[in-house]
Amino acid sequence: MHIPTDCLYTKDHEWVKLENGVALVGITEFAQGELGDVVFVQLPAIGTRTKQGESFGTIEAVKAVAELYAPISGEVAEVNQELGNTPEVINREPYGAGWIVKIRPVNFDGEKSELLTPEAYKDLTSA
């Protein structure tokens, strides 16, 4: 199970990585494995305000639908348009081309403590 060390995680299996002040968000390899073949992602509109722990969209696999929970509060700066045509990229590259949204954080440092370190997330998923 691949758990990149340059990301932080949520207990709902999202990952978040800060790049030049913008937070890149996706779901983990563990999450895509649990879901199975992803067929659709309902993305938020650009400019949508996210709140840590609250749903900002849904991800639909062949036999299940899951909510996407925001790892941090902020504003959606960009969404991965590729997911419209090829949502399965989430299964193939959950930490790369399968990213879901970019969020401009409002209080990253303050909210960081709510997130899991790679070690803590590894404990969570191997439990």
Which residues contribute to the site for another protein (CB under 8 A)? 40, 42, 58, 60-65, 67
Which residue, 76, 96, 78, is CA-closest to 29? 96
* CB nearer to another protein: pick between 61 and 76: 61
- Residue 106: partners with Cβ closer than 8 Å, 6 or more residues away: 73, 74, 75
* CB nearer to another protein: pick between 41 and 103: 41
DSSP string, 87-115: TTHHHH-TTTTT--EEEEESSHHHHGGGS
- Least separation in angstroms between residue 81's CB and another protein is 16
- Residue 42: partners with Cβ closer than 8 Å, 6 or more residues away: 57, 58, 59, 60
- Least separation in angstroms between residue 65's CB and another protein is 5
- Least separation in angstroms between residue 68's CB and another protein is 12
* CB nearer to another protein: pick between 23 and 35: 35
* CB nearer to another protein: pick between 58 and 86: 58
